[in-house]
Structure 1
């Protein structure tokens, strides 16, 4: 006999909803826990290299900011070294975590990272990549996190040699991966999910 399950309702279609913030950034969600959220601070002391701020928004197909997005970044330090046990090329900056997590501002949707400008990292074949920051984005309606990269518009020579950027078939879309300097030490990087100027995303 088939069991009647009419009393069980379908869960909401909001795949991330408030849960991603409660679980990943509880302090932003209003829960005072752990003395701060993981990834909220990337510079834990005097760091090497140029200190920078990255600001941006995740925009939908109409150009409106997503106010419930959460963004994570992973990057090398100023010398191009990762703070990872797998790093064999040298010792990374002990005052730099390399990992950041930011929930978008609930009003403007803006994310902010206080970090350092990364150094160049070798590609598997030895060629140097341009300075870049890896991004991961989740929000309502995004079933699987989106991966992209942020490069720096003021690193034109390095960008022209980068083994990833030079592989992109539609070179006119590279601009969607470039952070523009707004003032000394401040870069803006908006991520567009759809429509005109859609950001390039990577299948990782």
Structure 2
């Protein structure tokens, strides 16, 4: 027999706006970088309401398909190391305004190879890897952002092709008319974003 009644359950957070964001986080490249784009959108819950407490992290290659070597470790050698000035590859946007939006200043990534079953490699379409943390989740969810104006590359991307055709649009950012791209992320419900088991 229990002595005390069961306490109400609670969701995780809100924590993300307190200690994890930093000033340079939303800048994968510095302001004024030639070819810089703004990748942005809103994070929605299952009821269609913006989630005011979230953090989004991104990882990508540069336009030449190369990754940064920020600490001089020499991983991948010169052939694979980005030479784009100030390119970090990593971005982090912590919700600050309480309206559920995110924005990352970056460059459009190039194509990188991936090994396929049976041997060999194919080129992936330009994409940005995304981890999303928000209240109510015990662990992050992982997805990708592709680009609508890369239709030919998207058609052959092995990851995007593994997604049912009627749900692929949940991963494809559309031009925003101002030189950037917009993609909303939906955790549940109509238009739910495809998240990957990793």
Task: Name the TM-score, length of structure 1 as normaliser.
Answer: 0.82
Map of 2:25 onto structure 1:
39
Structure 2 CA distance for partners of 1:195 and 1:12, relative to 1, 3 Å: closer
What are the ranges of 5 or more consecutive residues in structure 1 without an aligned counterpart?
26-35
Map of 1:91 onto structure 2:
81
Which aligned segments of 4 or more residues in structure 1 are displaced greater than 3 angstroms? Answer: 9-12, 44-48, 84-89
Map of 2:49 onto structure 1:
64
TM-superposition CA deviations, 1:102-136 (whole Å, max 9, x none) = 12243321111111000011112421000000111
Q: CA RMSD in A?
A: 2.3
Three-state SS of the structure 2 residue aligned to 1:150 is strand
Map of 1:24 onto structure 2:
20
Structure 2 CA distance for partners of 1:87 and 1:56, relative to 1, 3 Å: farther
What are the ranges of 5 or more consecutive residues in structure 2 without an aligned counterpart?
none
State the distance in 1 between where 2:24 and 2:11 align: 24
CA contact (8 A) 1:71 1:137 kept: yes
TM-superposition CA deviations, 1:175-204 (whole Å, max 9, x none) = 000001011421101000001111000111
Q: Which has the higher contact order (CA 8 A, sep 6+)?
A: 2
State the distance in 2 between where 1:195 and 1:65 align: 13
Map of 1:28 onto structure 2:
none
